[in-house]
Amino acid sequence: MILVTGGAGYIGSHTCVELIESGYDVLVLDNLSNSSRESLHRVERLTGHKVSFVEGDVRNGDILNVLFDTHDIDAVIHFAGLKAVGESCECPIFYYENNIECTLKLVQAMQDHNVKNLVFSSSATVYGDPQKLPLTEDMPLSATNPYGRSKLIIEEMLRDLPRADELTHSDNPWSVALLRYFNPVGAHKSGQIGEDPNGIPNNLMPFISQTAIGKRDCLSVFGGDYNTCDGTGVRDYIHVVDLAKGHVKAVQRLLSEQGLDGVQAFNLGTGHGISVLEMVNAFKDCNHVDVPYQISDRRPGDVAACYADVSRAQTELGWKAELGLADMVKDSWRWQSRNPEGYRVIG
């Protein structure tokens, strides 16, 4: 069985579908602070399988101990965390407290129960302001905001675990996959599960979808004077279903005969950069909808371009993104148009 913390959220719910379809039982622990129980009901309907769910906080060690005592857990995928960059600048303590304490309590319970296979949700944000592209996993790391710093601190903390195994001659050493996501977008092709942001979206794709459906008047394109193909920011957008499959590959590798040695980082992206205007135009053309936009000032803290070298994930995990830009924009629109209020209206 796989314990999925934060499994009711955007990436977690898609990963539950892929895990179940690959034959795993899943147990979700989520405090529903940024998600709804409905996402998991839909995962159950999509897969025809039950998802064991516990509503609770990962910072609660007592809950974790009960879960490990009462379930046969082979590996953990740790999604639970807060992820809004702007909010993290306003409330850094809240971000450090939630994201770091969740991880500390989790790895303590894992160690106590001798379950030492972990997949951690990291982010391309740990590369800071990239000096060279594409980004490989061994490039220098830095943080430009408290959210990114929480990921960086957690990565560093996790790297100490196998070092301790060596010193203590552990016969069951830690195996940890740090998955550095680039820009997750899209939704399950059924239109049943997708991203359900609270309030005004910070990220590009949900803002485009909400503009297309008329919830927002106009998309602000942050900066038209970057040194990129058309002056707008370039990112490596990755379809959430491809990303979810990357987690299954990581789990399979952790649980394989070969295993995974210590802590290893993997970029999960497509390896291709897409500009904001390319994304807007693909959304309009593929979905036959209008997306009014205007070029506005650059957003503070944004980098011009960011995209991954994905060869390590391909070689080591046997994973490669398969879905392209058309799938990303069509699936985002299917989710948005069928669920205009997200999970708040049962569709």
Active site residues: 147
Going by their DSSP bridges, the two strands 234-235 and 274-275 should be labelled as antiparallel
Does position 58 interact with ligand NAD (CB under 6 A)? The reply is yes
Partner in contact with 202, chosen from ligand NAD, ligand UDP, none, beta carbon below 5 to 8 Å by kind: ligand UDP
Does position 188 interact with ligand NAD (CB under 6 A)? The reply is no
Q: CA-CA distance, 121 to 74, in Å (whole number)?
A: 18
Site size toward ligand NAD (CB under 6 A) is 26
Find the shortest distance in angstroms from Cβ 29 to ligand UDP.
26
**∠ CA(39), CA(199), CA(53), 5° rounding?**
20
Does position 33 interact with ligand NAD (CB under 6 A)? The reply is yes
Does position 96 interact with ligand UDP (CB under 6 A)? The reply is no
| Under 8 Å between Cβ of 319 and 246 | yes
Does position 202 interact with ligand UDP (CB under 6 A)? The reply is yes
The residues in 254-313 that bind ligand UDP, with binding defined as CB under 6 A, are 276, 299, 302
Positive/negative CA dihedral, 333, 339, 341, 343: negative
Find the shortest distance in angstroms from Cβ 127 to ligand NAD.
12
Q: Which residue is nearest to ligand UDP (CB)?
A: 233
| Token pair of 186 as six digits | 């899209």
Does position 264 interact with ligand NAD (CB under 6 A)? The reply is no
Burial 48-76 (b: 16+ CB within 10 A, else e): ebebbbeebbbbebebbeebbeebebebb
Alpha carbon distances (Å) from 160 to 166, 173, 267: 10, 12, 21
Does position 145 interact with ligand NAD (CB under 6 A)? The reply is no
Partner in contact with 222, chosen from ligand NAD, ligand UDP, none, beta carbon below 5 to 8 Å by kind: ligand UDP
SS in 3 state form for 67-113?
HHHHCCCCEEEECCCCCCHHHHHHCHHHHHHHHHHHHHHHHHHHHHC
| Under 8 Å between Cβ of 28 and 12 | yes
Find the shortest distance in angstroms from Cβ 29 to ligand NAD.
6
Give the nearer residue to ligand NAD in terms of CB position, either 67 or 254.
Answer: 67
Give the nearer residue to ligand NAD in terms of CB position, either 63 or 165.
Answer: 63
Does position 130 interact with ligand UDP (CB under 6 A)? The reply is no
Which residue in the set 110, 141, 212, 221 belongs to the binding site for ligand UDP (CB under 6 A)?
221
Residue 305: count other Cβ atoms within 10 Å of its Cβ.
17
Residue 215 sits at φ, ψ, to 5 deg, of -75, -25
Give the nearer residue to ligand NAD in terms of CB position, either 12 or 223.
Answer: 12
Does position 121 interact with ligand NAD (CB under 6 A)? The reply is yes
Does position 35 interact with ligand NAD (CB under 6 A)? The reply is yes
Intra-chain end-to-end CA distance of the chain, in Å: 30
Give the nearer residue to ligand UDP in terms of CB position, either 118 or 187.
Answer: 187
Does position 32 interact with ligand NAD (CB under 6 A)? The reply is yes
Site size toward ligand UDP (CB under 6 A) is 14
Does position 243 interact with ligand UDP (CB under 6 A)? The reply is no
Which residue from 182, 214, 188 is spatially nearest to 16, judged by alpha carbons?
Answer: 188
Specify the residue for token string 């490596």: 236
Which residue in the set 183, 209, 210, 267 belongs to the binding site for ligand UDP (CB under 6 A)?
183
| Under 8 Å between Cβ of 332 and 185 | yes
| Under 8 Å between Cβ of 51 and 8 | no
Chain residues binding ligand NAD by CB under 6 A are 6, 8-12, 30-35, 57-59, 79-83, 98, 102, 121, 123, 181, 184
Chain residues binding ligand UDP by CB under 6 A are 183, 202-204, 207, 219-222, 233, 235, 276, 299, 302
